[in-house]
Amino acid sequence: MTTRLRYPAILIALMLLPMAAEAQQRPQPAAKPPAAKPAEQPATEPAGPPYEPQLLQLSEIMGSLAYLRTLCGGREAQDWRARMAALIDAEGRTPQRRDRLTAAFNRGFKAYSLTHRSCTEASQEASSRLAAEGEVLSRALAGRYGG
């Protein structure tokens, strides 16, 4: 008399249990995320000229002078904004470059507006030093890179 297994499905399930447990411990391959649309690449900006750092420094000096000369009632106070606009027109070939020049001007303006609230000897001294530094820098730029 042969005995038959009464519940063959249970036996098969019990035999497969160790394999199922092992499969759970193995790292499962990650499901692929849905294909994303490629992000639009921003237009790459051409490399700036070799004198870009000096030009940004000059822009910052001009912003500082615009604030300090206005604060102290200098005759040419408003000329600094016009000079900066001319510099942006001449050198701002791309929107990113114009933004960098403008940001440098604003940084210089803001830096002195935080510490100088009224025209003092220190404000006038800073203005004189900045004007001298800007003159040296602009002459160096014109001498080295001017046409």
101-145 tens-digit pLDDT? 999 999 999 999 999 999 999 999 999 999 999 999 999 999 988
DSSP-derived 3-state class of residue 114: helix
Alpha helical stretches, state H, the chain: 8-25, 52-71, 79-91, 95-115, 121-145
Cα–Cα nearest to 73, from 126, 118, 33: 118
Is the pLDDT confidence value at 78 over 60?
Answer: yes
Cα–Cα nearest to 65, from 128, 118, 115, 114: 128
Q: Which residue has the higher pLDDT, 32 or 119?
A: 119
Scored b (16 or more CB within 10 A) or e, 16-25 reads eeeeeeeeee
Is the pLDDT confidence value at 62 over 50?
Answer: yes
d(CA 106, CA 108): 5
12-16, 27-31, 51-55, 61-65, range with the lowest pLDDT: 12-16
d(CA 112, CA 122): 11
Question: CA angle 90-95-98, nearest 5°?
Answer: 45
Is the pLDDT confidence value at 26 over 50?
Answer: no
